[in-house]
């Protein structure tokens, strides 16, 4: 099967124009769910006028952000520029959250660039009114690639508090056992988990965390 990737829409006006008629929202527009459960906008989270248009005076108890990890509208910025941009939408988020609320932020870490922008974002958050609550790591079904294009097997999720929100400790979404399981192979490449055999010279042992 041949691979025919689509070019970037911002670089091909003809393709952009052809697809535009299928878009339900144009920039600056907000869609209101007829049932009244959702509101979706094609807006700029760093502009207070856009955020205000979306929330319409309401206050939220939870905010979940997944910024583009230093790729803003297909344009890579300096780390400082990216953090300045993050500061804007974090401040807007603070304005629309309730007195007691939670903020979750997915944040990437470029292994080839000093793990930026994760540490830079964390330092920036110290100057805000949010309090750090937890550093959560999600295990991905990735991690495969080449020596020059390696995909991480983990993603970082930062959890911050505003005020004193209630945290439901009963609401666990995973039942992965908190154990350390050994991964063993014999010289023929046959996997085994026999701990006693690992003492043999013919067994190579390693550790795989299963509760990350």
Q: Which domains does the chain have, with CATH numbers?
A: 59-162 (3.40.50.150), 180-209 (no CATH)
CB 108 within 8 Å of CB 138: no
What average pLDDT is seen over the chain? 78
Which residues contact residue 50 at a Cβ distance below 8 angstroms, ignoring those fewer than 6 apart? 28, 41, 43, 44
The residue among 52, 172, 162 whose CA lies nearest residue 103 is: 162
* Across 7-11, 38-42, 71-75, 85-89, least confident range: 71-75
Cα(133)–Cα(11) distance, rounded to whole angstroms?
A: 41
Band the pLDDT of 148: cuts 50, 70, 90.
low
Among 47-61, 141-155, 169-183, 187-201, name the most confident range.
Answer: 47-61
Where does the chain show beta strands of DSSP type E? 30-32, 39-41, 60-65, 71-72, 75-76, 97-107, 109-110, 116-117, 131-139, 154-162, 180-186, 191-192, 203-209
Segment (H or E) for 14: helix 13-20
On whether the pTM is more than 0.85, the answer is no
């Amino acid at each position: 099967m041949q691979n025919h990737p689509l070019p970037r829409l911002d670089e091909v006006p003809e393709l952009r124009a052809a697809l535009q008629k299928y878009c339900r929202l144009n920039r600056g527009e907000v869609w209101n769910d007829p049932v009244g459960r959702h509101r979706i906008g094609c807006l700029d989270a760093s502009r207070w006028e856009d955020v205000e248009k979306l929330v319409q005076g309401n206050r939220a108890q939870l905010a979940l952000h997944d910024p583009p990890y230093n790729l803003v509208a297909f344009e890579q910025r300096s780390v400082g520029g990216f953090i300045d941009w993050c500061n804007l939408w974090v401040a807007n988020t603070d304005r629309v959250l309730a007195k007691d609320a939670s903020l979750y932020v997915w944040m990437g870490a470029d292994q080839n660039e000093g793990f930026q922008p994760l540490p830079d974002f964390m330092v920036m958050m110290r100057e805000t009114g949010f309090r750090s609550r937890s550093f959560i790591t999600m295990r991905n079904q990735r991690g495969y690639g080449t020596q020059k294009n390696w995909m991480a097997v983990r993603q970082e999720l930062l959890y911050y508090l505003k005020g004193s929100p209630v945290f439901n400790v009963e609401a666990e979404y995973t039942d992965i056992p908190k154990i350390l399981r050994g991964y063993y192979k014999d010289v023929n490449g046959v996997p085994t988990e026999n701990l006693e055999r690992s003492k043999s010279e013919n067994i190579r042992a390693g550790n795989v965390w299963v509760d990350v």
